[in-house]
Amino acid sequence: MKPSAVTLTLCFSLALHSHLVQAADTGLTRQPWADRTDLAPAQRPLQPQPAAGLAIANFSTAYSREEAWMEAAVDRYLQHAPESAEATIDYSMQVFISEGMPEGALRHLFKQALEEPPGQVRFVLQGFEPQKLGALIGRLRRLFPDPQGDDILIEIDPEAFRTYQVDSVPVFLVKDGDEWYEVQGTISLEGARENVRRRGPLVVGELYAIAEPDMLTVIEERVRDYDWTAALQRAQSRVADNLSPKFDLPTVTRNSEDFFTPVFIVPHDIVIPEYNGNPEVLLARAGTRYNILDFTSLQVPIIVFDASDPRQRRLVKEWIAGEYADADLFVVGAEAADGRPGTVALSEQLQRPTYPWFGRMSDRFGVRAVPAIVEQAGDRLRIRYVEPPSFAP
């Protein structure tokens, strides 16, 4: 049997976002088990019901204009993003549970889940008491044979409870072939599968009340009493302040090239503590130096320039129109104006996203003047400093 473990994930599904924009469409979902058109007629399906949108009084969301350059920026990012295996979710069983169930029943289900192939069983909770998530995690971990691992998947998904009208637990959604079936009541995982295989009754055992609150209800109640206008104003002010770099770099006075090795120095010994009779294991000793480029790479060039210098702005426009069309742009000297970050206005002018350059970034990339172009060269960064020319008016 595999080592026991638990991963607790806050999974409000697509519901929370769709509620907030009041555009829920329960017919569309990314959950592979939520399309109920393939439920076999021999079992009574949990009929999905549209959930009511959040009642947000006197609240409106100002959406940004969709600009072609924004879409182009996304496409450019996706082209250069590192490749990774596409995450696929193919659960064969969903189990709706609650702490309202006897501890023994939960222990047996979790133990049985460890005997299943990884990722085949998904446990679902309706919610947790506000500000008591840590306590919930602790109580759940104590129900596992080994509370230290990370192999059992438990998700908090109140939308699933609403969609399938789960008002008592346990409820099993079992996949048989290409179809899904429902089983209600206390039973083992294998027992639920066997009940589906022989097309047994819907209710097979004891059902229990759900102890946890519906997290969406908790959110709805808080949203109704929240001053969204004041919150939005505070958020806009913070964004304008945070995205305006309060850092400056000198202007390049002659063309040159430099190399820089980005290094991480381990601040203290990193160890795996002694556990269950196993000795402490030292992973990294304090003072050890690691070249960051041994573990990651710079996907595209980086251009750093002073947004307040018209010569540098013009030079950067030429670069991104030609050789450095894929570069990411970072700026110093872009002050906030009219409550908007300076980088926002600059992004509109250049038709490209621009980001603030902070002092700590110079330490990590080795940039000492602007304009500068940073590219990876093997296990180092090559920094090209370019003196901005004087353009004729």
Question: What is the maximum alpha-carbon separation in the chain?
Answer: 85
Among 217, 247, 282, the domain boundary falls at: 217
In the predicted model, what is the mean pLDDT of residues 104-117?
Answer: 93
Mark whether 209 and 294 lie in a shared domain.
no
Please tell me the distance from the alpha carbon of residue 154 to that of residue 92, in angstroms, as a whole number.
14
Mark whether 157 and 42 lie in a shared domain.
yes
Query: Which pLDDT band, with edges at 50, 70 and 90, does 280 fall under?
Result: confident
Please tell me the distance from the alpha carbon of residue 372 to that of residue 245, in angstroms, as a whole number.
17
Q: Name which residue leads in pLDDT, 292 or 54.
A: 292
Mark whether 28 and 117 lie in a shared domain.
yes
Mark whether 327 and 208 lie in a shared domain.
no
pLDDT at residue number 29:
37
In the predicted model, what is the mean pLDDT of residues 327-341?
Answer: 74
CATH code assigned at 358: 3.40.30
Q: Is residue 352 situated within a structural domain? A: yes
Mark whether 37 and 146 lie in a shared domain.
yes
Please tell me the distance from the alpha carbon of residue 214 to that of residue 49, in angstroms, as a whole number.
16
Please tell me the distance from the alpha carbon of residue 297 to that of residue 385, in angstroms, as a whole number.
21
Phi/psi for 171 (5° steps) reads: -130, 130
Share above pLDDT 90 across residues of the chain, in percent, rounded to a whole number: 42
Q: Is residue 244 situated within a structural domain? A: no
Mark whether 118 and 23 lie in a shared domain.
yes
Measured in whole angstroms, how far is the alpha carbon of residue 30 from the centre of its chain? Answer: 15
pLDDT at residue number 273:
81
Q: Is residue 121 situated within a structural domain? A: yes
Mark whether 23 and 137 lie in a shared domain.
yes
Mark whether 48 and 171 lie in a shared domain.
yes
Q: Is the pLDDT of residue 337 over 70?
A: no
In the chain, the number of structural domains is 2
pLDDT at residue number 158:
93
pLDDT at residue number 43:
55
- Beta pairing class for 256-260 and 380-385: antiparallel
Mark whether 58 and 203 lie in a shared domain.
yes
* Location of structure tokens 């307040």: 308
Per-residue pLDDT of 247-262, as tens digits, reads 678 999 999 999 999 9
Mark whether 211 and 341 lie in a shared domain.
no
Per-residue pLDDT of 116-174, as tens digits, reads 988 899 999 999 988 888 888 889 888 987 787 778 889 999 998 998 889 999 999 99
Mark whether 206 and 309 lie in a shared domain.
no
Domain that holds residue 160: 7-217
pLDDT at residue number 70:
63
In the predicted model, what is the mean pLDDT of residues 316-343?
Answer: 82
Q: Is residue 273 situated within a structural domain? A: no
Q: Is the pLDDT of residue 36 over 60?
A: no
Q: Is residue 239 situated within a structural domain? A: no
Among 152, 186, 217, the domain boundary falls at: 217
Most confident of 80-84, 199-203, 222-226, 237-241: 199-203
The three-class DSSP label of residue 296 is coil
Q: Is residue 78 situated within a structural domain? A: yes
Question: Which residues are registered as beta bridge partners of 331?
Answer: 305, 356
The three-class DSSP label of residue 270 is strand
Query: Which pLDDT band, with edges at 50, 70 and 90, does 14 fall under?
Result: very low
Q: Is the pLDDT of residue 195 over 70?
A: yes
Query: Which pLDDT band, with edges at 50, 70 and 90, does 47 fall under?
Result: very low
- Exposure b/e, 326-350, CB count within 10 A at least 16 = b: ebbbbbbbbebeeeebbbbbbbeeb
* Neighbour count for residue 242 (Cβ, 10 Å): 13
The crossing angle, in degrees rounded to 10, of helices 342-350 and 310-320 is 50
Mark whether 203 and 107 lie in a shared domain.
yes
